[in-house]
Structures are given as structure tokens and as C-alpha cells.
Amino acid sequence: MLHELINHNPDLKRLQDEGYKLELRDKHLLVHRIPYVNSSSEIGEGVLVTDLELAGNKTVKPKNHVIYFIGDQPCNKEGSEITGIIHNTTTQKLSNAITVNRSFSNKPKPNGYKDYYHKITRYIEIISAPAISMDSSKTARVYEVIEASKDESVFNYMDTNSTRAEIGVISEKLEGHKIGIIDLGGTGSYILDQIAKTPVQEIYLFDGDRFLQHNAFRSPGAPSIKQLTKQHFKTDHFKRIYSNMHRGIKSHPNYLDESNLSSLIKLNFVFLCIDKGSAKKVIIEYLISRKIPFIDVGLDVNIAEESLLGTIRSTLVTEYMTDHVPNRITMMDRDADEYASNIQIADLNALNAIMAVIKWKKYVQFYQDQEREYSSFYDTNVNEMHNADYQS
């Protein structure tokens, strides 16, 4: 898979970071959008194709200095052929999916190409020079969105952020997970916003509510009036948005209770964002009994001296640490008046979500975790965060 090769190989990563449009197909590296001049002195675009010499997931020094090309014969700006690189002008199939029109030969002395960055950029320099001399805006460094193939990635386009930051190998710790988010209110929707940007395998959304106007003011994004009037289920609303990026979003537009808790059995981790204590209680008991780790979030905002005072909590629960649950997670329902006056502020919802996601990433060792706390709290009035609940 191309993204894994890029993560492990500086030569391919450098090509991507410098804006070249790469594709891996049938064990060949294709570089698209190569500008060149044809025999009519017109500027076109072609594709360079090279076989990849690999040792496991590492590229090795190219043994073959020849490269293939999809396109017409590259020429000088007056239309004469660049004869110094001509090798073969016969159209041939390298695989069922790759048909090339010609090949070029240019071998640096004395030792050939040191890596694939050296090979690709040298051929681009030769082929594109006439086109660039005619139009200085022409370049193979197009920084174009790279679409990921369905068998290679959970994303619809490649995660170039991780490769640019050189954390691709660390990001692999997030792969393969099946994550559940229960309740897509303010905090839950922001958790989805973060999890959808990770390479987890699947994200299951559980919520029986519909997305209404008040939800727009405490959720990521900016829905239109037209979208609000449709009153879609929250799970469908957010799936529609985040499926633009992540292929593994699963919508379950219903509340969880004793009748459907089995929907959680396939999950590796759950984010629990419910306010109602009695509904939370049955879910927590099920998760603990099935040894499914989860994070419960909590947000309390009160009016104090004509200002707001907010407290945020994030609590991790695993099969190895459950004793703290009664002290941290309320499983009793508030009365109707308390629910009616429940204050939700978008920035605190977002911060609560970030705290929970960071703790999950510490749990899977994406982030270093020296404290190993199971609960974290943040208070707005004193601007302090503190930890509690440590496994003995």
C-alpha cells in the first residue's frame, strides 16, 4: 500500500512532500501530471512509470535505470524529439492496469540512481524543461489531492498529514480499531470530529435524537437552514458529513437499552457521552461485563455571580480498573427542571471531547502516558486541570 511505503521510505516521502502526485499500481510507482512538449510544440501532461525494488516495505537502490512513460514523445520547444533519452517507442502492457507508450534511458555515471527520488526527479528535469521554458507556471509539483484506493485506506484521500509530520508508524497504532460513540450531542459530535481524522477501521454512531436548530450551536460545522429543516437523525446527519473523509462511519439512529446492547459487542472502545444516568447505568454495566474499555465524559456549567462556572470530566474505565466508577460517574437521573436548564457551551463541549480523545490515544500508546490517570478534570474559574484515580 502506497501510504505504508511512504511512511517507511524517505525517498518516496520526499516525492510526496514536494507535491508530486504518486500512485502505486501493480507493484509499479506512477507519477502523474508530468508536463512536456509534443511534436506540435504544444504542452501536454504524461505519466512516469517505474518498477519498485523493495526489500519488505523498504525501497532499495533502483537496479533498473530505465523508466516508462504514458504519453507522446517528449520534445524540445520547437518540436524536435529529445533524442538523448529515447529507449523504446513501442506501446506495451506492464500489467492489466498499466499500458505505457514508450520508455527512456538515462543512467547517471558511475553508479546510477541512488534512490527513487533521484530517479524520478532526474527524468522530470529532462522531460519538463522545454515545457517550463515555454510556460514557467508548468510543474509536476501539483500538490493535488491523492485519492486512496478502497483496499488501501479507511480514508477517501490519503493522510498526507501523518507522513509530512513523520509520525506514520506511530499512527499505525490507531489502525484496526472499531470505535463506538454513544450520543452525538455537543461533546459526542466533537469526539466524532477527532476520531474521523484517525485511521480507525470503523466508527459506530448511536443516538435516537434528530439534529435540530439548537444542536447547530454546540456541534462542529455550520449546517444550512435547509439542512436543519430536514430534521435528519443525528447519526445520519453526521455520517453524511464525515463519510466525505472516512469510509467506516456506521449510523445507528436509535437509543441503546437492554434490547440492543449486543450492538456494542464488536467494538474495541466506546466513548459514552450520555447525560441521563439511568440510561448510562445499563450501558456501563454491559461494557464492564464484556470487558470493553470506555471513556465517560461529563460537563457541568452553572451560573455564578452573573458569569458561568464550568467543570469538565473525562473518566477512563478498563477491565483492570473499575473501582472508581461509582465515585466519578453519576447513574441517577436528574429531575426534569435540571435537564431543562442543562447548559451546553460549544467550547467546553469541544474541550471535553479533546480531553477524552487524548486519553484514548494515551491508552493505545499513541501518546506517552506517564501519569496513567483514569480521570481528568478541568475547572474554568481557576483555569486548572488535575488528575485522579490511579490503578494500584
Cβ atoms 35, 44 nearer than 8 A = yes
* Spatial separation of the C-alpha atoms in residues 211 and 238, rounded to whole Å: 9
* Spatial separation of the C-alpha atoms in residues 271 and 292, rounded to whole Å: 11
Pick among 3.40.50.720, 3.40.50.1220, 3.40.50.800, 3.20.20.70: CATH of 167-390: 3.40.50.720
Domain with CATH 3.40.50.720 in the chain: 167-390
Determine if residue 41 is left, alpha or beta; phi over 0 gives left, psi from -120 to 50 gives alpha, anything else beta. left
Task: Name 359's Cβ contacts closer than 8 Å, sequence gap at least 6.
Answer: 295, 314, 316, 376
* Spatial separation of the C-alpha atoms in residues 103 and 66, rounded to whole Å: 7
* Spatial separation of the C-alpha atoms in residues 363 and 372, rounded to whole Å: 9
Distances (CA, A) of 153 to 126, 168, 202, 243: 34, 13, 12, 13
Determine if residue 101 is left, alpha or beta; phi over 0 gives left, psi from -120 to 50 gives alpha, anything else beta. alpha
Q: What is the pLDDT along the chain (392 residues), one digit of tens a residue?
A: 677 788 889 999 999 999 999 998 877 899 999 999 999 999 999 999 999 888 878 899 999 999 999 999 999 999 999 999 999 999 998 888 899 999 999 999 889 999 999 999 999 999 999 999 999 999 999 998 666 666 667 988 767 676 556 576 788 899 999 999 999 989 999 999 999 999 999 999 999 999 999 999 999 999 999 999 999 999 999 999 999 999 999 999 999 999 999 999 999 999 999 988 889 999 999 999 999 999 999 999 989 889 999 999 999 999 999 999 999 998 888 765 444 456 889 999 999 999 999 999 999 999 999 999 999 999 999 999 999 999 87
